[in-house]
Amino acid sequence: MELQLQKPTQLASGIRLEGTPSITMGFGRVQLDMPAIMNNRAEGNISGTLRIELWDLDAPYSGGDFNGEPLAGFTVGTLTSGYCYPACEYDLINLTFSNQAERPVVMLREWNGASYDTVAFCEIADRTEKVAAPVKKAAPVARTETPKTEQPKAKATPKTAPKAKAEAKSVAKKSAKKKGSIELISINDASVADVAELKGVSEKLAAAIVAGRPYTSPNELLRVKGMGVKLLTRIKDSIKL
């Protein structure tokens, strides 16, 4: 819900974060305490679709392109000039299912008609990690020993076992050889038809992937509507930049 600013201030950046975010990670989820989002652009200037993304980056960030691992993200919508989205707490799915992040950064990104631009960001210094509750060990169960006279005899290994193992090994080699001959699909250059050949990717999703170019890492496909962690994991070995 948008709230109107009492005294909007015209800033060069236009859209900014008012405050400092913090996160709590663990149990497959991320709790994000998000500061207010301000639109201080000129009157009548409505933003493009805004999206909040939480990343664990490989290096300190000062703007522009980046590399890292996505932790969570969600779309907040457009924002009218002179209005803001107030500070809120969000309970999000942790895309990495990890309770650790070396360099978490919150990025506010805006759709420009072809891709998302980072219009504001903030490194997170205040973060906590939840520790899983200890698992109680089950009480030991008394063992009942079987009299030696009733113990079943071990079955002899069939003589054909070595042959079966050899055949299985041969099939595995052929499969590995076949897999190595598959040509990787370029998510930055391939056509919609070629992207749609990826297992689990529909023509509609392929068109959205092509429209969202360019990508600097396969993980950026998670910002495309319809692409989830499971599907990205499934196709990751079949794609390239």
> Across the 241 residues of the chain, what is the mean pLDDT of every consecutive 10-residue run?
44 75 84 89 90 91 88 91 90 80 90 91 68 48 53 52 52 46 82 90 90 85 86 88 85
First to last CA, the chain: 38
Q: Where do the structural domains in the chain lie, given as residue ranges?
A: 3-129, 161-241
Res 97: pLDDT: 67
The yes or no reply on domain 3-129 and CATH 1.10.760 is: no
Coil, strand or helix at 129: strand
* CA 117 to mean position of chain CA atoms: 18
Q: According to the model, what pLDDT value does residue 57 have?
A: 92
Rounded distance, CA 173 to CA 156, Å? Answer: 29
The label of the residue with tokens 């200890």 reads 134
Shared fold status for 3-129 and 161-241: no
pLDDT the model gives residue 166: 52
Task: Supply 197's token pair.
Answer: 């050949």
Is the torsion defined by CA of 57, 58, 60, 61 positive or negative? negative
Phi, psi of 202 (to 5 degrees): -80, 170
Q: Are 3 and 83 in contact (CB under 8 A)?
A: yes
Instruction: Quickly name the fold that domain 161-241 has.
Output: DNA polymerase; domain 1 (1.10.150)
